[in-house]
Amino acid sequence: MSVPCVAVDRERGESVRSRLAEADVLDGDHQISVEDGTIYIPVTDPAAVPADLRASVVERDAAERDRPRTPAEILGFEPSLERLGDIVIVDEDDDERAREIADAVMASDIPCETVLNRASPIEGELRVRQWDVLAGNGTETVHREYGHEFLLDVAEVYFSPRLATERHRVAEQVTDGEYVVDMFAGVGPYAVPMAAHGADVLACDLNERAVEYLRENAERNGVADRITAVAGDVRELGNEYDDTADRIVMNLPHSANEFVDTAVRLAGDDCVVHYYDIQHEDDPFGPGTRALREAAGDDYDVTVETEHVVRSYAPHEHNVCLDVRLTRRK
Ligand code: SAM
At 222, is the secondary structure helix, strand, or coil?
coil
Mean pLDDT value across residues 264-284: 97
Cα distance between residue 238 and residue 291, in whole Å: 23
Residue 184: CB within 6 Å of ligand 1? yes
The per-residue pLDDT for 148 is: 98
pTM: 0.82
Q: Largest Cα–Cα distance in the chain?
A: 94
pLDDT score of 269 more than 90: yes
Mean pLDDT value across residues 199-228: 98
pLDDT score of 213 more than 90: yes
The per-residue pLDDT for 61 is: 94
Around 236, how many Cα atoms within 13 Å sit in the side-chain half-sphere?
Answer: 6
At 6, is the secondary structure helix, strand, or coil?
strand
Residue percentage of the chain with pLDDT more than 70: 99
Residue 79: CB within 6 Å of ligand 1? no
Residue 189: CB within 6 Å of ligand 1? yes
pLDDT score of 67 more than 90: no
The per-residue pLDDT for 109 is: 86
Residues 323 and 261: beta-carbon distance below 8 Å: no
CA-wise closest residue to 276 among 167, 179, 175, 191: 167
> Helix H segments across 30-158?
71-75, 95-107
Mean pLDDT value across residues 121-149: 94
Q: What is the DSSP string of 228-268?
A: EEEES-GGG--GGGTT-EEEEEE--TTTGGGGHHHHHHHEE
Find the range with the poorest average confidence among 11-15, 59-63, 195-199, 272-276: 11-15
pLDDT score of 299 more than 70: yes
pLDDT score of 29 more than 90: no
pLDDT score of 293 more than 90: yes
Cα distance between residue 18 and residue 218, in whole Å: 55
Residues 320 and 309: beta-carbon distance below 8 Å: yes
Cα distance between residue 98 and residue 321, in whole Å: 33
The per-residue pLDDT for 215 is: 98
Local structure of residue 99 (DSSP, 8 states): H
Residue percentage of the chain with pLDDT more than 90: 90
Residue 194: CB within 6 Å of ligand 1? no
Mean pLDDT value across residues 40-66: 93
Residue 158: CB within 6 Å of ligand 1? yes
Q: Give, using CA atoms, the residue closest to atom 3 of ligand 1.
A: 186
CA of 215 to the centre of ligand 1 (A): 15
To the nearest whole number, what is the mean pLDDT of the chain? Answer: 95
The per-residue pLDDT for 68 is: 66
The per-residue pLDDT for 66 is: 74
pLDDT score of 274 more than 90: yes
pLDDT band for 330, please (50, 70, 90 cuts).
confident
At 316, is the secondary structure helix, strand, or coil?
coil
